[in-house]
Amino acid sequence: MKAIQSHVLQKLPPHERILLTAYQLFYREGIRATGIDRVIADAKVTKVTFYRNFPSKNDLIREFLEYRHKQWIVWFIDALQRNGNNIKALSSALAEWFGDKNFRGCAFINSVGELGSIMPEVVEISRSHKQEMTDIIAGLLPPTTKQRQDAQAIALAVDGAIIRAQFDQTPEVAIQALDRFIQLLQTTKK
């Protein structure tokens, strides 16, 4: 999930320019830390144009999260396929993301931490995102009566690995722990 170059951004219509500018700023610097005036300045639009496209910051936040969801899910499915499209591919896919110089954790976990208590729709959007991630993980597992429960456990471990990779100097520790958890889960099935 690469950053959009400013010369490309400036060629876009205002709505997309505002959204993609907010997308980069919200993910890199945080939603609360990024004021509307900063988005307006970086998107090179007027306040009138901004508010014509997004009547409030909350509207922009919702659209940012929906956009991030679509981008991340497409990336996730592609990364899993590139790495074997099985449960072992999960760690390799996440290692790609954690190794990206723009990695700043999960936008949904971060957003719930910042806004969950004051903006319930952020929690709902994030819950939906995590559910789709869990469904994708379930598709990597062999069909069993515990497939859904195993996918939920692995998804929780993925979230833990994301948080660990966010503050650790080396994301390999998080990947190794996730691998170990998946191995343990598979071993108990035998």
The per-residue pLDDT for 5 is 65
Q: Count of CB atoms within 10 A of residue 79's CB?
A: 18
The per-residue pLDDT for 88 is 94
The per-residue pLDDT for 10 is 78
Q: Count of CB atoms within 10 A of residue 122's CB?
A: 22
The per-residue pLDDT for 134 is 98
Q: If you classify domain 64-187 with CATH, what class do you get?
A: mainly alpha
| Residue 5 phi, psi dihedral angles, 5° rounding | -70, 145
For residue 4, give the nearest of 12, 13, 80 by alpha carbon. Answer: 12
pLDDT in tens, the chain (190 residues): 556 666 677 789 999 999 999 999 999 999 999 999 999 999 999 999 999 999 999 999 999 999 999 999 999 999 999 999 999 999 999 999 999 999 999 999 999 999 999 999 999 999 999 999 999 999 999 999 999 999 999 999 999 999 999 998 889 999 999 999 999 988 876 5
In the chain, how long is the greatest CA-to-CA distance? 63
The per-residue pLDDT for 186 is 83
Outline which parts of the chain fall under CATH 1.10.10.
Answer: 1-55
CA dihedral (33, 125, 173, 164) positive or negative = positive
Q: If you classify domain 1-55 with CATH, what class do you get?
A: mainly alpha
Outline which parts of the chain fall under CATH 1.10.357.
Answer: 64-187
**DSSP secondary structure letter of residue 190:** -
For 109, what's the count of Cα atoms within 13 Å in the CB-facing half-sphere?
Answer: 13
Q: Tell me how far apart the alpha carbons of residues 16 and 34 are, in angstroms, rounded to a whole number.
A: 18
Q: Tell me how far apart the alpha carbons of residues 50 and 86 are, in angstroms, rounded to a whole number.
A: 43
**Tokens read off for 118:** 């004051």
Q: Tell me how far apart the alpha carbons of residues 81 and 170 are, in angstroms, rounded to a whole number.
A: 25
